[in-house]
Amino acid sequence: MTTPHTTIKPISDYAAILTEMEHWKEKFYDLQAQISEIRQTGTDTIIIKEGGTARYIRLADIIMMQADSNYTTIHLANGEKILTSKTLKYWEAKVKIHTDFIRPHRSYLVNKTHILSYQRSTNRLLLVQGQEIQVARRYKLV
């Protein structure tokens, strides 16, 4: 009868593994605390899943959402752009209770708080980061 062969790891490897486990445990608890804080403050957020990670994005940080076939690009106030595999109709349903969002064109969902001006002659909205959004002819901008 043979006995199974086990390898014995040096104590330094064991200590390194314990240290790494503690590091990741702290990261996990920090993220849980952040999520809990977001939920408790009542801040309006959406969850965007990208690369296997869920991100909480505050609605106030979203300048606009732009349709691209069955994808949507979300433009944030910090200049970041996030490509999602959801349609603009999906995101519109997610933010419909938030009155700051309007859909002036079938390709755009815009946060009103990030609009700088409306040019009636060209029927365009000018947004804070210099983007110009075409407004549909039938849309009545108040």
Average pLDDT over residues 123-131: 88
Average pLDDT for the chain: 84
Q: How far is CA 72 from CA 4, 51, 80, in A?
A: 55, 15, 14
Q: Which domain holds residue 123?
A: 61-134
Q: Give a yes or no: residue 121 inside a domain.
A: yes
In sign, the C-alpha dihedral spanning 114, 43, 109, 101 is negative
What pLDDT shows up at residue 122?
A: 87
CATH assignment of the domain containing 107 = 2.40.50.1020
Q: Give a yes or no: residue 24 inside a domain.
A: no
Q: Give a yes or no: residue 51 inside a domain.
A: no
Q: Give a yes or no: residue 37 inside a domain.
A: no
Q: Give a yes or no: residue 85 inside a domain.
A: yes
Average pLDDT over residues 110-139: 87
Q: Give a yes or no: residue 29 inside a domain.
A: no
CA distance linking residue 5 with residue 93, whole number of Å = 59
pLDDT band at 141 (very low <50, low <70, confident <90, very high): low
Average pLDDT over residues 16-26: 90
Q: Give a yes or no: residue 87 inside a domain.
A: yes
pLDDT above 70 covers what percent of the chain?
A: 89
Task: Give 27-76 pLDDT, tens digit per residue.
Answer: 888 888 877 776 665 558 888 887 778 888 888 899 999 999 899 999 99
pLDDT above 90 covers what percent of the chain?
A: 31
Q: pTM for the full model?
A: 0.67
Can you read off the two tokens belonging to residue 44? 């309006």
Q: Could you give the number of structural domains in the chain?
A: 1
